[in-house]
Each structure stands twice: as C-alpha cells, then as structure tokens.
Chain A
Amino acid sequence: MNKQFEHIEDFLEDSSFRSWVFSKGTMRSLFWETWLKDNPNKSEMFYEAKEILLALDEEEEDWDERDQIHLFTAISAQIDSPQVENTSSRISEKYTINRPRFIWLKVSMILLVMVVGAVLIGSAGLFSVEENMPKEEVAWISKYALPGEKKKVRLPDGSTVIMNSASELKYMTGFGETHRDIFLDGESFFEVAKDTVLPFRVYGGDLMTEAVGTAFNVKAFAGEGTQVKLVEGKVKVELKRVDQAEKDRVYLTRGEQAFASEEAFTKGKFDLEKALLWTEGTLSFDDIPFKEVITSLERWYGVEIAVEGKQSSLQKVSGEFHKDNLENVLKSIAYSFHFDFRIQEKQVFIQFN
C-alpha cells in the first residue's frame, strides 16, 4: 500500500483500517499488525484512530438478533399473506363499492400491504352477514412454522404469537374486528392485546382457552394431549371433546397449567422459567422419555430420526441446549445413552449398541 498516513483522519477514512478495528478474532487480517511493526513512528496516531473508532462503536447499540429475525418473519408473513394480492383483485371486481378504496390504496405502496388486510377483513366480515357470501369467500388465514423454524406473528388485533416448530395457526377473516378466535395445531406462546369487548380464544386439541389480556402457552400436537400454561393474567380453560356434550372448565392463575389427555383433565403447577425457554431458542428437556425427546428433536431441527437397536424405555433425558446445532445435542445425549449416530442432510440414524 502506497497510501500515506499522516493524520488520524487518514486512518479513519480507510475502510480496511475500519474493518480491521471492528473485526473480531480469527477473521482479522494481518495487514495492519504488520503495518504497525513497519511504521513504529506512527503508532501513537494509529492507536488514537483505533481508540476513536472503538469509542464511537461503544455508543452504538446493536439490534438484538432475535428481534431482527422476528421482524424479518413479520415482513415475510406480510408478503406471503394471500389476501394482499389475490383476494383484493377478486373482491374489488365483485363489489364495486370497494373500488375507490382500492384505487386510493394503490397510490401508496407502503399503505397497500398494511391496510388492505384490515379493509378486506372488515368488509368480508360484513358481507358474510349481509349477503350470504359463498363459503370460499370467508377466508381462513393460516400461519405456519415449519419443522426446524420458529416464527413470531403479529395478529390483526395487536396480539403477538411466537410459534414453535411444526405448528399451524388459523383464523378467519374478521379477526380482531368481529371475533378473536384462533385455532392451533402444535405449540405457541400468546401475548394477548387487551380488548375488553372481544375475548381472545385459542382452540387447541381438546381445550379452549379464553383470555382478555394475558400471556400463555398452548401445546396441542395431535395425539399428545393438550396443555395450557399461564404466564401472566388470568384465563379460563374449557374442555371440548368432539364427541361429548360435557363442558368441563378450570380457571388458571399465573404459574398454573391445565392438561387434557384421553384419560383426564387436570390442573397443576409448572416451572415458569423453564416453560418459555423455547421462545428464546433454548431446547430443554426435564426428565423426558427418550422417545419424546426424539419427537422434539425432529420438530425443532426439521429432520427425520430413525432409531435402531435395543433401547431402554426407562431412560430419561435432562438437559438444556441454547441455540445449539443438532450434532452437538445428539453428541451429548449419545454420551449418556451409548449410541452412535449419523446425520445425512435431513435424515438422522441412531444406532444403539
């Protein structure tokens, strides 16, 4: 490099110098270390430039990576939400009343995405009452978190939901306007916006959970029973068996959970700290049978796991893995369970010895 470095500004202006100062650990290029050795007379200026940059950098506050991911998920969900592009054209052709609105909406692209949803939901709800709309016009809106992914979803009423892997949420148009009924397959954590008029109801498995403004976790994977854990506020949980008219209900306060299986409907306590670890990317097992652990791993990482060989059905797994990769998690379980494993893309083979 022939560049002259006579002033602090010369360092600051140099982008390779800046990236050297800000880079951490192994990626750091050796160029500037060498340069410093070759130019000992400029070391004072060099260090001052570095110190200025670092001081400026400390003033910066980094964006929490989780928040960043959440925001991108919200953006993706808005791009994906079908009513924005498809339904809008269909409905505006059918109901000319709406047309001026849509023309106005097209003027501002930013508003298009944000508002069309609300307008459509409102008018679809209206029409379904007044004009007996054909069934397909009352749209279901679905949100998916595929195996291996987690999603934060904002609902039209301002509530937020963190969806765990392999879960689906569904609600009908009019959500937040005429109703707040939402259907869950899988596991989700709900933070419910306050609304004294419309109760917020989650239908999952055999349970219906009703809340006004509160935070709770519902786990309702098919065939595993349904579980509601209350983190904040107060909720009513109702048992709703498809084939039975009976309506059993319990009220939960903070730290209490309801569980419905084939055999029973019970109320108990749970560990507040552990229950929500998954929303922060921590996979935790607290004395869980090996078979259930395998199911959790399949969902969490979006893989299929085949288990071969003789295994003890009595052994249970405890452990916490924060944002760890599958290989590390399997390694530490394998250590105490004595099995070999092989990961081939989305397939995992476990062989007990």
Chain B
Amino acid sequence: MSTEDRVKKRDEALEARMDVLVSYVLLTGVVTSVILVILGLAWHWLNTGRLGVDYRISGMNLFEFVIDNLRQVTSAEVRPRLLVSLGIAALMLTPYVRVLASLLFFAFAEHNRKYVVFTGFVLSVLTFSLFLR
C-alpha cells in the first residue's frame, strides 16, 4: 500500500468517526430538548388541566432568557414553563454544539488548519448572535 493510499484510508476512517460524533451531538440535543418540553407540558397539564402553555417573553438573548426563567423557579406556577424554556434553549444550543464539536475534531483529530479557520469563523458569528441584544 502506498503512503498516499494509507493517508487516504486514515482520512476516510477519521471522517467516519466525525460523522458518528456529529450525528450523536445532533440526536442528543434534539432528544434532550423534546424530553424537557414534553415534561414541561405534562407538568403544566397536570397543574392546570390545559395542554397549551401561555407565556410570552420580552426581547432578550438566549442567556437572559434562561436566567430570567431560573429566577422565577421559586414560583410553583412557573416551574413547568421553566422546563419548556430549557427545552427550547437546548434546541438552540444543538447546532452550536455541533459546530463546536466539528471545530475540536478538525483541530485535534484531522489537524485540518483550513477547516479550523472556517469552523472557527462560524462559531464566532454564532456566539456573537447568541449574545445579541
């Protein structure tokens, strides 16, 4: 087997591992989000007998959104909502973590400088947008 072939084979194996990693990140994020939202809705239903949760938030970024909900955790009425909010937060963080995982992979497994730069750019812009006000 030539060196070139061996390099190609190694790259393919790495890419396969990356696909599995990305797949799990996405699946975990979505499943976590769904579980939180369902639990929140079920809790709300048990409390009130209604399926629909009714609340609106004022303009805030993801972190303020979560903190605002956590602050109200002492109020029993609000607790189901908190789970729904955390579910939505988990959903928003899913693509973010996927990009982060890709960055770590390109940096430490594939040592692909080009794609570290590309992925780093995407991650920076997303971080900025999550802190938007």
Asked if A pairs with B, the answer is: no
Chain B positions within 8 Å of A, measured between CB atoms, are: none
Chain A positions within 8 Å of B, measured between CB atoms, are: none
